[in-house]
Structure 1
Amino acid sequence: MAKKKYNAFYAQSGGVTAVINATACGVIETARASKNIGKVYAGKNGIIGALREELIDTSKESKKDIAGLKFTPSGAFGSCRHKLKSIEENKAEYERLIEVFKAHDIRYFFYNGGGDSQDTAHKVSQLSETMGYPITCIGIPKTVDNDLPITDNCPGFGSVAKYVAVSIREAAFDVKSMAETSTKVFVMEVMGRHAGWIAAAGGLACEKEGDAPHIILFPEIAFNKEKFLKKVDRTVKKFGYCAIVVSEGTAYKDGTFLADAGTVDAFGHKQLGGVAPEVANMIKDELGYKYHWAVSDYLQRAARHIASATDVDQAYAMGKAAVEFADAGKNAVMPTIVRKNTKKYSWTVGEAKLADVANVEKMMPRSYITRDGFGITEECRQYLQPLIQGESYPPYKNGLPQYVELKNELVKKKLKTKFKI
């Protein structure tokens, strides 16, 4: 008699990336070959898809379209910013998850996200045991912020890093060519609330003295207005222009963000908006230089056309490893990227306990930032450089990249009760 196969639930969480669908591809392709896993259901718009019993049947998608996810940006099944509270605060949500999983014969839960997501997967693994319906919970790393602990780096970051480094280099060529009679200062805002990894990546474009960016503002370094303006002025006088990369989380010594919008998001984080114009106006008011500014915003994390091949490979590998971990009977763990100690960059798959990953942020080491606080060190460059290596272009047609759009057919609901979120 054949061993019974149980279904799996996969959800994408939080801000999407250029390569999160490559992870989905890794999960689904590997699960289809598994002897233990039946169908893979994906949550429509992330975890809320489970709470609402809106499950997408990925078995309805062709082999070709699933493979095409590897070249498609954003979240193919939809994502959300919905953080499940602690079990003590809102046990009903966790009980609802178990109820839905039980109704659809789901025994495997793959949660693709950052620290909050790993926390949720860990809690579900604990509660499912106490409720008598054990579920294998595997977290899968994903965040452009690169701030998950234990793993060397996070899928999604390498491609954003490549985009930022390329963008500041190209913009700087533009500014430099017009600086004599026009713009002398260019400010580019990038993501990064508490950790400056993305801003640091801009520093890869600076390969010799005078190259942009001339200044990087990190969340890890308290902003000193006087020191900053002196640096801008010196740079313009020396090179004719100044290109700046600023992290959205740049803050003063007392912790006040330069661009605090005064509101919070669904995770309770302060909404940050417009640090680039804040910095640019500061320069205009104090130094009188003509400026331009740009906010990378969603462009930096959606730019699949310029994704890092290393990032794509690692994103797929994390999805594949997650299923292999589940098949091996592992639970409450997350696959990680382990950098090998070799002359030529190489990496392998490791693992971490979800309890050790949940809600822990990895900041940039001080040794990665220059003494003056405005640039990256050689040590940082050696860490970052391999992560942006290689090109992985999507297929093109009529001059545009061709991306997959799935059918996303929902499974018939089995529960009578609806759940309000």
Structure 2
Amino acid sequence: MPAKNAFYAQSGGVSAVINASACGVIETARAHRGKIGKVYAGRNGIIGALREELIDTSRESKAAIRGLLSTPAGAFGSCRHKLQSLDENRAEYERLLEVFKAHNIGYFFYNGGGDSADTCLKVSQLSDTMGYPLQAIHIPKTIDNDLPLTDTCPGFGSVAKYIAISTREASLDVVSMCETSTKVFILEVMGRHAGWIAASAGLAAERDSDGPHIILFPEIAFDRTKFLARVKRTVKRHGHCVIVASEGAQYADGRFLADSGITDAFGHRQLGGLAPGLAEMVKSELGYKYHWAVADYLQRSARHIASQTDLDQAYAVGAAAVEFALQGKNAVMPCIVRGSGKRYRWHIGEAPLQKVANREKKMPRSFISRDGFGITQAARDYLSPLIAGEAYPDYRNGLPRYVRLKLEPVARKLKTAFKV
């Protein structure tokens, strides 16, 4: 009987190192030929399975797969599609089962964040509810760093490094111009409910006068009066004020400052326009000249300045997912476990998806300064090793060299199509 094939897919917002996890999966599976057949990737995530749009990674060269280590974004395409419960949408589960059977797939590796963990958990239950043997392993990835039971989430360390560097460089720019020009600079970063990315900007400050002078966290209710007072006091003291604001900044009643009034496929409120909104607030109330920027996709795609720690961990969780599957495990997630002691050490642990799916890890209050506008030494101790090391890609003609896969499709075996 031929070895079962594996299905790997990327989900949600991508990162600078998600492809390193793909590399870990594919290389480890190739090292276990005979136990695992081929690794098929879903074109655009779980949608690729539903539409029977599979990519044959065995057609990619060893060098191309290795090149994923230094290539940002999702090499196979990602999506935002959350499976409903079996009772709500049985057709999708039946379709998955049909596709998996047709292609002899017995291993499911889903690389994503909290909603992806929920999807992976539901897929893992196919074995029990629909009588099909399937092992599902979730591979953690989220720049928001908000998955529980893992010390950090692959993808976060590189974003943190990019934001800390960008904040430091922008701060120097503002300092050099504040006498006659910009007094206030605002950088908007990602982070809907957890302020980990915004917190990483705090690493840029080594002295009291260094930016960022104000960090806005989702975990701390926004107070307009206190915010404006801090801006005014900072400009009076230092001549300028650098602000880093998490997109999820919200009022005490839970309303987002940047709520666009639109929801996405996962039911999340779409956010946008925080930085210009804050800038206008500062201008109208204090009269300061300002500039603002939104890191947006730049922060999560910045492979040119990725963290070596982050890259190593992203590869490790991908490789561990395959090892877990070969050990017969199901409905689990490889996680990062931080060692004790002053020197940073980490190893791979294991977390049950029942305790990961649909749960968020927010910033502990002990990581946020008493006034709510900065980070503490405990936060610095946590964050600093995650941005350590420079994992530069190879360059050609002044630009990074990123791999482009062939993405050769697997021949369809089913006669029926499926609309997603």
In which range does the TM-score fall when normalised by the shorter chain? over 0.9
**Matching of residues 109-120 of structure 1 within 5 Å:** 109-120=108-119
Aligned partner of 2:100 in structure 1 is: 101
**Matching of residues 396-411 of structure 1 within 5 Å:** 396-411=395-410
Q: How many Å separate the matches in 2 of 1:410 and 1:360?
A: 35
CA positional deviation for 1:173: 0.3
TM-score by length of 1: 0.99
Aligned partner of 1:22 in structure 2 is: 20
RMSD of equivalent CA atoms: 0.7
The answer to whether 1:317 aligns with 2:316 is yes
Q: How many Å separate the matches in 2 of 1:257 and 1:44?
A: 34
CA positional deviation for 1:86: 1.5
SS at match of 1:227: helix
After superposing on structure 2, the runs of 4+ consecutive aligned residues of structure 1 that deviate more than 4 Å are none
The answer to whether 1:31 aligns with 2:29 is yes
CA positional deviation for 1:232: 0.2
Q: In the TM superposition, what whole-angstrom CA distance separates every residue of 1:293-338 from its partner, at most 9, and x where no partner exists? A: 0000000000000000000000000000000001111111000000
Aligned partner of 2:418 in structure 1 is: 419
**Matching of residues 385-396 of structure 1 within 5 Å:** 385-396=384-395
Residues 98 and 128 in structure 1, CA contact (< 8 A), matched pair in contact too? no
TM-score by length of 2: 0.99
SS at match of 1:195: coil
Q: In the TM superposition, what whole-angstrom CA distance separates every residue of 1:110-153 from its partner, at most 9, and x where no partner exists? A: 00001111111111111233222110100000000000000000
Q: Where do 5+ consecutive residues of structure 2 fail to align?
A: none
Aligned partner of 2:83 in structure 1 is: 84
What amino acid maps onto 2:27 in structure 1? Answer: E
The answer to whether 1:7 aligns with 2:5 is yes
Q: In the TM superposition, what whole-angstrom CA distance separates every residue of 1:208-233 from its partner, at most 9, and x where no partner exists? A: 11111000000000000000000000
**Matching of residues 3-402 of structure 1 within 5 Å:** 4-34=2-32, 35-402=34-401
Q: In the TM superposition, what whole-angstrom CA distance separates every residue of 1:214-256 from its partner, at most 9, and x where no partner exists? A: 0000000000000000000000010010000000000011111
CA positional deviation for 1:103: 0.4
Q: In the TM superposition, what whole-angstrom CA distance separates every residue of 1:276-299 from its partner, at most 9, and x where no partner exists? A: 001010000000000000000000
Q: In the TM superposition, what whole-angstrom CA distance separates every residue of 1:254-290 from its partner, at most 9, and x where no partner exists? A: 1111111010111110000010001010000000000
Moved more, 231-240 or 116-125: 116-125
Residues 125 and 134 in structure 1, CA contact (< 8 A), matched pair in contact too? no
Q: Where do 5+ consecutive residues of structure 1 fail to align?
A: none
Residues 165 and 202 in structure 1, CA contact (< 8 A), matched pair in contact too? yes
Q: In the TM superposition, what whole-angstrom CA distance separates every residue of 1:367-388 from its partner, at most 9, and x where no partner exists? A: 1000100000000110000000
Q: How many Å separate the matches in 2 of 1:21 and 1:79?
A: 11
What amino acid maps onto 1:327 in structure 2? Answer: L
Percent identical pairs in the alignment equals 72
Residues 126 and 134 in structure 2, CA contact (< 8 A), matched pair in contact too? no
What amino acid maps onto 1:105 in structure 2? Answer: N
Q: In the TM superposition, what whole-angstrom CA distance separates every residue of 1:174-219 from its partner, at most 9, and x where no partner exists? A: 0110000000000000000000000000000011111110000000
Q: How many Å separate the matches in 2 of 1:303 and 1:278?
A: 26
CA positional deviation for 1:40: 0.1
What amino acid maps onto 1:82 in structure 2? Answer: H
SS at match of 1:94: helix
CA positional deviation for 1:357: 0.4
Q: How many Å separate the matches in 2 of 1:110 and 1:129?
A: 18
Q: How many Å separate the matches in 1 of 2:92 and 2:354?
A: 20
Q: How many Å separate the matches in 2 of 1:125 and 1:295?
A: 38
Q: How many Å separate the matches in 1 of 2:229 and 2:333?
A: 45
What amino acid maps onto 1:104 in structure 2? Answer: H
SS at match of 1:37: coil
The count of corresponding residues between Structure 1 and Structure 2 is 419
Q: How many Å separate the matches in 2 of 1:261 and 1:13?
A: 23
Residues 182 and 289 in structure 2, CA contact (< 8 A), matched pair in contact too? yes
What amino acid maps onto 2:405 in structure 1? Answer: L
SS at match of 1:277: helix
Moved more, 228-237 or 88-97: 88-97
Moved more, 220-229 or 129-138: 129-138
